[in-house]
Structure 1
Amino acid sequence: MEQLMMGSLLSALATGIGALPILFFRQVSHHWRDILLAFTAGIMMAASTFSLIPQAMKQDSLIIVCLGVMTGTVLLTLLESVIPHIDLEHTRVNISMDTQSILILSAITLHNIPEGLSVGVSYSSEQGGLGGLIAFAIGLQNVPEGFLVALFLINQRVSRWKAFLLATLTGSVEIVAAIVGFYLTSVVEGLVPYGLSFAAGAMLFIVYKELIPESHGDGHERSATFSFIIGLLVMICLITWFA
């Protein structure tokens, strides 16, 4: 339980780490942002395909794994349809802070719930190092997200410190979701492999629907591609050494 709390806390606080530079400067180059997003995509892709799914298949049937992956994918698809997706980096709509900022914060917070569940389910697995690896992968994904949320809030005339705090708070829901995921899979027998495959489906959705398109949106496809592959190899090395 102590490891779960530490891993989920660090994963959630990564959003605040990403928002931290906003206290000192207001922008980052598209090039470096795309490289970071692609690197994160590689990390999460490897975590899903080389860690979560194989571990789920060791514990249960292929049918359960497929159902879990599809459930995670469908859930995030439903969230996308219910919560309008707004491109934080390229939005040009001039809406008041009270409406657009609340929408953005709500969307980011809700999207963090499956990520927290992924961390909690991973810590309940029999594979000792899996929880830490997934928390690390989710935390990396939260870094650019935290920066973009804080940057958006500043552009809506929110103070730097308030933007930093609000962006950090959007990640705090992951701690609660991680605890729920951990206890659910611990109490309900046979839920762990389903939960692991669910987490894989949710992460793969984020990679393909969000991170890869975002990293290829500003003409830096080649460097983003290399960054994706490097991220994937880094995570494979971590899985081999620590899992």
Structure 2
Amino acid sequence: MNTLIGVMIPLLGTTLGAACVFFLRKELSSLVQKALLGFASGVMVAASVWSLLIPCMDMSEHMGKFAFVPAAVGLLLGIAFLLAMDRAVPHLHMGADKSEGPKTSLKKTTMLVLAVTLHNIPEGMAVGVVFAGMLASSTQITLMGAMALSIGIAIQNFPEGAIISLPLRNEGMSRRRAFSNGFVSGVVEPVAAVITIALAGWIEPVLPYLLSFAAGAMLYVVVEELIPEASEGEHSNIGTIGFAVGFVIMMALDVALG
């Protein structure tokens, strides 16, 4: 039951963020968006380090001075995976005029949702891998540590849900449809988490690699998308401040609850 609650918490964050479309009339200002993007970046970087890479290296202590190998290999594979997905799946980032990936006849709104959905995959994997590690008796990952990651991702999912639903509403889409699109973009997270947990018995031997794989995929999203969007134009320092706040909150959650 605790595991089910844990994997659903991130979706709750996305849902609440998407629900802002029912209470706010206008799209978030650029300053607020920069702050939220920076905040999400900080949360994801801190989660990658404290919730994924450090446990990965702790589980690899038996390798001695080569304990870094699973972390390094998994991280690079996670980055390569998201790079390949970015090229294989047609998607459009908010505020961009040109879509990425293969040419397609999909609607703009569909590609906007695909962009967020694509980047939610590693977050769902991260939650699933951590809970799989918690269920495995051979790891030091605790329930509270796994919950800390879920809560941290849910916090950064709140602005993500708002950032996708409010612009869709501003383009003329009904509030209900804009909310639904924001909600659907987050459904992939619990799905990815549940699939990962269901395979826990088979993945336990390579759990350190999967932890670092999820970290690499999350860091790819931060470096490739979130930080550039938070830094472009004027007042880029707002994104930096948001990053610092998000990083500290996620770090505190993981240390205090883990």
TM-score normalised according to structure 1 size:
0.89
Q: In structure 2, how many angstroms separate the alpha carbons of the residues matched to 1:103 and 1:227?
A: 27
Q: In structure 2, how many angstroms separate the alpha carbons of the residues matched to 1:164 and 1:41?
A: 23
* Match in the other structure for 2:76: 70
Q: In structure 2, how many angstroms separate the alpha carbons of the residues matched to 1:169 and 1:232?
A: 27
Show the 5 A alignment for 1:83-232. 83-91=89-97, 99-125=107-133, 126=139, 127-128=141-142, 129-232=144-247
Q: In structure 2, how many angstroms separate the alpha carbons of the residues matched to 1:166 and 1:174?
A: 14
Deviation of 1:91 after TM superposition, in Å, equals 4.2
Match of 2:86 among 57, 60, 80: 80
2:107 is paired with a residue whose SS is helix
Deviation of 1:55 after TM superposition, in Å, equals 0.4
Cα displacement string for residues 72-122 of structure 1 (whole angstroms, at most 9, x for unaligned residues): 1111111111234423135499xxx96222222233323322221111101
Q: Does the 8 Å contact 1:89/1:148 carry over to 2?
A: no
2:199 is paired with a residue whose SS is helix
Equivalent residue pairs, number? 239
What amino acid does structure 1 have at the position aligned with 2:125? L
Identity score, percent: 33
Q: Does the 8 Å contact 1:118/1:181 carry over to 2?
A: no
Q: Does the 8 Å contact 2:15/2:161 carry over to 1?
A: yes
Cα displacement string for residues 166-208 of structure 1 (whole angstroms, at most 9, x for unaligned residues): 2112211211110111122333331221111111111111111
What CA RMSD, in Å, does the superposition of the two structures yield over aligned residues? 2.2
TM-score normalised according to structure 2 size:
0.84
